[in-house]
Structure 1
């Protein structure tokens, strides 16, 4: 669509909030949020005051002489974002529909505030320190790779891990839900995916209605619930006999929880800690900009269509260090836990099982485990080759 300086523009209902460095613009109808610099906000205000596009551009050139002002391009971008309702008095048809902001509204705000308030935040931190103290004073509590093997059969171990992980992930996400509800906002748990794996994730898009200083509580809520689980499972081990099923399950819970907490520091993925860093820095494309910075030396990391503001360059360089540290942490976790677990499963469970009679449950346990390994390996290889084909 071609715009001229005589084009009359009517914008949708927008809510504008000052953020740390720029502004957050909300499309009130469909609940979408956009980050914009001050010059864009002034342009929107002038358009809302029925100023012609020619007048808007001249006013912006006077107020922001160092900026590259092209009001027609800006209006074109607003149209692409579905933020324009009328052009020259004619309605603009768009595919966006009004969203009803619902989700766990039956949970009272007071319940959320019981778990997430200034006092509870300090208690979660103290529980983290206490958990670290328990492990330091009793190093047998630190999870080992063989804690995965609660049962003799791999099928039982896999089922136990899936059940434990499912309930712990639900609890993690419910922490986010309660934190969102503590601010009186709706939240919902959605089903997403990471590669070929189904995951649960909390839609917290409404956090942009809050000032930056209140968002961290929502981002850290799931980790705080993980810390409670970790402390309780560690403490319970002190009062549990070693050679019992309960002890085995407690060790599995600690193993699963601690690894997921470690992974939060792998900020080359968009973990909860990544969003805390992003929120504190005010750089909301931190991962993409960090990858492009590292692409000077690692070209395969480059991400198209990203822009780093001049004042963000120092933050991006610092994040790039954490990005690489997160990758290193992932290799360490793999070397310390996943590779030994696989070697133990193959050498101590799968291979001996193949020497059992074909009528033995251990033989079929080994067959099922081998098929699972082949399936997962095949899916990973396929995803890597697909990603390579798309990038080449």
Structure 2
């Protein structure tokens, strides 16, 4: 059996090789023996010849045919004995007109110097001007709850979009395509940028991709603080700008909730040398409740220690997140729905057009946000059920 591979990219890391399908993945971690097998097959040797050669070199029995089958399932194989391999659809990149040449300046030292200067100046401003510091009271900047809810939703959407654009732009500067989509982290609605292709980069560059969203957040927050200097500290505009800074800060806290698959999680996973920390920890938790095999024997000692420590941390974080949703978010949502419904009722019976507008806007914002969350959660649950049925 002879094998032809699709275009693959590979680079050496401390514990083996990262091999993937250019430019968007998927990627796998392989030991030296796995990379050697791919090189021998790529040279035109048959699986039987490669098996014999590996046995001669290392004295090991390698099931080359099974290895090829596993690579075929993830889309690495173009042809097997002249027959097409499995087809893997790669995600369509967002903003495909953005090219690496347009964005290369983002990852050069002058941009880093400017970013550091702006953020440092914003920190100095916060220290020297206490009246410019954001607080929770800034989130309620108008008497109309519906107006605050609507504007805050728009601001949050813009901030999140800029955050994801930061990831996308830095990844694209390194020639990595990225796709921005909506998803969920447990009960949290999030936007995410799929930059799987970053595994083709050295670790130092991957770290820049992970940190790009937070770097963008800090730059936007600094801009809002400087913009507030043009207005009275207790004025509506300055209050709104501080509310934006606070919104960014709250979002940044979520990005470092390491028990979810957030920016901070991916950074920790990569720096720790783990390949699938979240997935391995999930399998370990299922093993602890007697619902699956123990994943640790198949992991290197370093990864085994990280996974064993991360699994209980992930479980506690998940319980707290779901608990907060039930205990805090649901009652708040019910209260907001009652208030908005009361505004609509008063507006219709009055008629009081201001109350009616407040109620309609409030219900529309709540329906858009929570409807999207429920739709994504339902789609994920349905996909999990289908996969489970397909494996039974």
1:154 matched to 2:148? The reply is: no
Residue pairs, 1:28-67, within 5 angstroms? 28=22, 32-61=26-55
Secondary structure in structure 2 of the residue aligned to 1:231: helix
Q: Which residue of 1 aligns with 2:75?
A: 82
1:194 matched to 2:184? The reply is: yes
Deviation at 1:211, TM superposition (A): 0.7
Residue pairs, 1:42-191, within 5 angstroms? 42-61=36-55, 69-88=62-81, 90-92=82-84, 94-95=86-87, 102-105=96-99, 108-113=102-107, 119=113, 126=120, 130=123, 134=126, 138=130, 141-144=133-136, 146-183=137-174, 185-188=175-178, 190-191=180-181
Deviation at 1:353, TM superposition (A): 7.4
Deviation at 1:289, TM superposition (A): 0.8
Greater Cα shift, 170-179 or 210-219? 170-179
Q: 1:367 to 1:13 in 2, by over 3 A?
A: closer
Q: 1:310 aligns with which of 291, 300, 319?
A: 300
Q: 1:369 aligns with which of 362, 374, 385?
A: 362
Deviation at 1:339, TM superposition (A): 7.5
CA distance in 2, matches of 1:96, 1:384: 25
Q: 1:11 to 1:378 in 2, by over 3 A?
A: closer
Deviation at 1:274, TM superposition (A): 1.5
Deviations 1:179-207 (A, max 9, x none): 23443x15455343438998654443332
Q: 1:344 to 1:15 in 2, by over 3 A?
A: closer
CA distance in 2, matches of 1:303, 1:263: 31
1:359 matched to 2:351? The reply is: yes
Deviation at 1:246, TM superposition (A): 0.5
Deviation at 1:69, TM superposition (A): 3.0
Q: Greater helix share, 1 or 2?
A: 2
Q: Which residue of 2 aligns with 1:277?
A: 268
Secondary structure in structure 1 of the residue aligned to 2:79: strand
Deviations 1:27-63 (A, max 9, x none): 3487543332222111112223344433423443465
1:21 matched to 2:15? The reply is: yes
CA distance in 1, matches of 2:189, 2:20: 30
Greater Cα shift, 257-266 or 291-300? 291-300
CA distance in 2, matches of 1:116, 1:271: 28
CA RMSD in angstroms comes to 4.6
Q: 1:25 to 1:62 in 2, by over 3 A?
A: same
Secondary structure in structure 2 of the residue aligned to 1:295: helix
Q: 1:238 to 1:317 in 2, by over 3 A?
A: farther
Deviation at 1:209, TM superposition (A): 2.6
Mark the runs of 5 or more structure 1 residues left unpaired by the alignment: 1-6
Q: 1:39 to 1:125 in 2, by over 3 A?
A: farther
Mark the runs of 5 or more structure 2 residues left unpaired by the alignment: none
Q: Which residue of 1 aligns with 2:214?
A: 223
CA distance in 2, matches of 1:134, 1:329: 32
Q: 1:44 to 1:348 in 2, by over 3 A?
A: closer
CA distance in 2, matches of 1:137, 1:149: 21
Q: 1:294 to 1:172 in 2, by over 3 A?
A: same
Secondary structure in structure 2 of the residue aligned to 1:95: coil
CA distance in 2, matches of 1:244, 1:371: 28
Q: 2:236 aligns with which of 245, 260, 264?
A: 245
